[in-house]
A and B are shown apart, each in its own frame.
Chain A
Amino acid sequence: MRIALLHARYTLIETARVPIAVMGAVVFPALTLLFFVLPQRAIAEDSGAATRAVASLAVFAVLNNALFSFALSIAQDREQPWDPYLRTLPVRAASRVFGHVLASAVLGVAAVIPVVVLGALLTAARATPLGLVGAAAALVVAGIPFALAGICIGYAMTSRGASAIVQVVMFGLAFGGGLFFQPTTFAPWLDAVSRVLPSRQARDLVVFAVQGGTLDLWTWIGIVAWSAALLALALVLYRRDEGRRFR
């Protein structure tokens, strides 16, 4: 745990020294809110719909941040000779991964806050303080599969491969999970596919936390199943990894 904090701290120091890298993760979701939600007055002026839209984009902020920060930084680190050096230090895989999770969580919070603030100021979205706390907790839980997916991509491919795959996975999950367009507008077949995606489960969980209503048992099963499967895969990929392979 102490080592994980150490890694998180220095990852953040390094990130903070290259501020432009942070901007993509922090600004993109807020821009999406301005361009996708604000112009649609039917959504922006309806309290229920606006709240759901803001919740969805908060999930998007977490998804975007987790995938990019894990997949790209891990894939890039593996190509740097600093990474094999860190592997010679007395630090377990789990501590390094956990340190990375903590650092990414800090950036995730930085990405979610502008979405929530803009949502509160410019749309009819409303939430009780308790709802906000619940939503924050839900975002943390919902972010786990995204972070693990990013870790798997990072350890499975080169940074070029990772940046291509991350775009595809991110937009696939964002659209498919109903983060840009609400799932109520989906055709039945798309809705069925959507329910299997971790992004949809994350969205449903966060909407439930902030708005109440009903939550499918399937949502919980899905989040736990995705997390367990991706965690197992991430550990296998980490242990198999010996840095970049040349053929």
Chain B
Amino acid sequence: MTVLARLDRVSRHYGALTAVDDVSLEIRAGEMLGLLGPNGAGKTTVISLLQGLRRPSSGTVELFGGDPRDAVTRQHLGSTPQESALPAALTAREVIDFVGGHFAERLTSAELAAEFGLEDLLKRQTGALSGGQKRRLSVALAFVGRPRLVLLDEPSTGLDVDARRALWDAVRRQHANGATVVVTSHYLEEVEALADRVVVLRAGRVIADDALGNVIARVGLSWVRFESGEAVSSLRGAVRHEVDGRRHSFAVRDSDAFVAELVRSGIHFEGLSVRGATLEEAFLNLTDEGGA
């Protein structure tokens, strides 16, 4: 498969802070890649390296076989501005035409508006749009130049459920039409909805790079907590067991089966609670097997 972009042993430091730490990554044509990780994990830095906005401190970044810092290399790259960044005095149509004017092959503003549901907004100045409308326009801009590779940084932040689904549908259609898409998110749900391959970053390192299903299996854990005066040894189905005095916390894959097992065991317990582990917990606390 064609490799559209490649990071080879890339590190990037900001002063004493290491944002990206020895990351190697290949983005292949046709993929819908989710870049997942808690805030500060280095997702945005990886994106800005691919955009040519930043230089790696060490290692090499390759885009379409060239250097992303060269303007011509970026002819087939689509990116999203922060929604707060849109020039307030320009209308949505002007912004689309301005950005689109940089690309040899482009969608017309009418085509792009139809694809992303922006028809009613074209004549309005972006300063008058709501946060969600700006977000949609921003994401749409990534696709105006018929890009081969699209980088979407937290695309649905701040959108309500309907708008989020509509946006995901539009992104999926663009992907079906041949665009390779990289989407960063700290929401598992978003990555689940879009990606077929998931790369998980933590503290600037890749700690997982796998098919969506495999990552979900690792992340889809719940915490079962209860108090008990008895000595609770390990129970079947527990991935991890933490004890704090009378308080027991079990990380489990199937909380229903685990609670049934707990009851069957005859252990006396009180204050039972079951809660899904957040992504951050899943990767900060649970994956002690490390960079597997």
Contacts and interface: CB of A to CB of B under 8 A. Distances in A.
Contacts, number: 69
B85 A88 contact: no
Interface string A1-27: 011001000100110011000000000
Contacts of A82: 81, 85-87
Contacts of B87: 10, 14, 82
A133 B55 CA distance: 47
21 contacts: A2-B101, A3-B101, A10-B87, A10-B90, A10-B98, A13-B90, A14-B87, A81-B81, A81-B84, A82-B81, A82-B85, A85-B81, A87-B53, A88-B52, A89-B71, A90-B71, A90-B72, A90-B73, A95-B71, A242-B53, A247-B15
Nearest to B142: A88
Contacts of B73: 90
B280 to A, nearest CB: 25
A243 interface: yes
B32 interface: no
A18 B125 CA distance: 13
B51 A87 contact: yes
B71 A91 contact: yes
Nearest to B75: A90
A242 B84 CA distance: 19
Given A89-B99, A90-B72, A93-B71, 9 more contacts: A10-B94, A10-B98, A80-B85, A87-B52, A87-B53, A89-B74, A90-B102, A90-B145, A242-B53
Contacts of B103: 90
A14 B58 CA distance: 39
B79 interface: yes
B89 A14 contact: yes
A172 interface: no
A87 B54 CA distance: 10
B90 A14 contact: yes
Contact of B53 (A84, A90, A91, A247): A84
**How extensive is the interface on chain A, given as a class?**
20 to 34
A88 B94 contact: no
Interface in B45-104: 48, 51-55, 71-75, 77, 79-82, 84-87, 89-90, 94, 98-99, 101-103
Nearest to A89: B102
A87 B80 CA distance: 11
Contacts of A87: 51-53
The secondary-structure label for the interface of chain A is loop
A81 B102 contact: no
Q: How large is the interface on B (under 10, 10 to 19, 20 to 34, 35 or more residues)?
A: 20 to 34
Interface of A: 2-3, 6, 10, 13-14, 17-18, 80-82, 84-85, 87-93, 95, 242-243, 247
A85 B87 CA distance: 11
B89 A17 contact: yes
A242 B53 CA distance: 6
Nearest to A10: B98
Contacts of B90: 10, 13-14, 17
Interface in B21-56: 48, 51-55
A54 B220 CA distance: 77
Question: 9 closest A-B pairs (Cβ-Cβ)?
Answer: A85-B81, A81-B85, A17-B89, A82-B85, A88-B79, A88-B51, A90-B74, A81-B82, A92-B71
A88 to B, nearest CB: 4
A145 B81 CA distance: 33
Contacts of B81: 81-82, 85
Contacts of A17: 89-90, 125
B79 A6 contact: no
A13 B102 contact: no
A128 B145 CA distance: 51
Contact of B98 (A6, A90, A93): A6
Contacts of B71: 89-93, 95
Given A85-B79, A88-B74, A242 B54 contact: yes
A10 B98 CA distance: 7
B85 A85 contact: yes
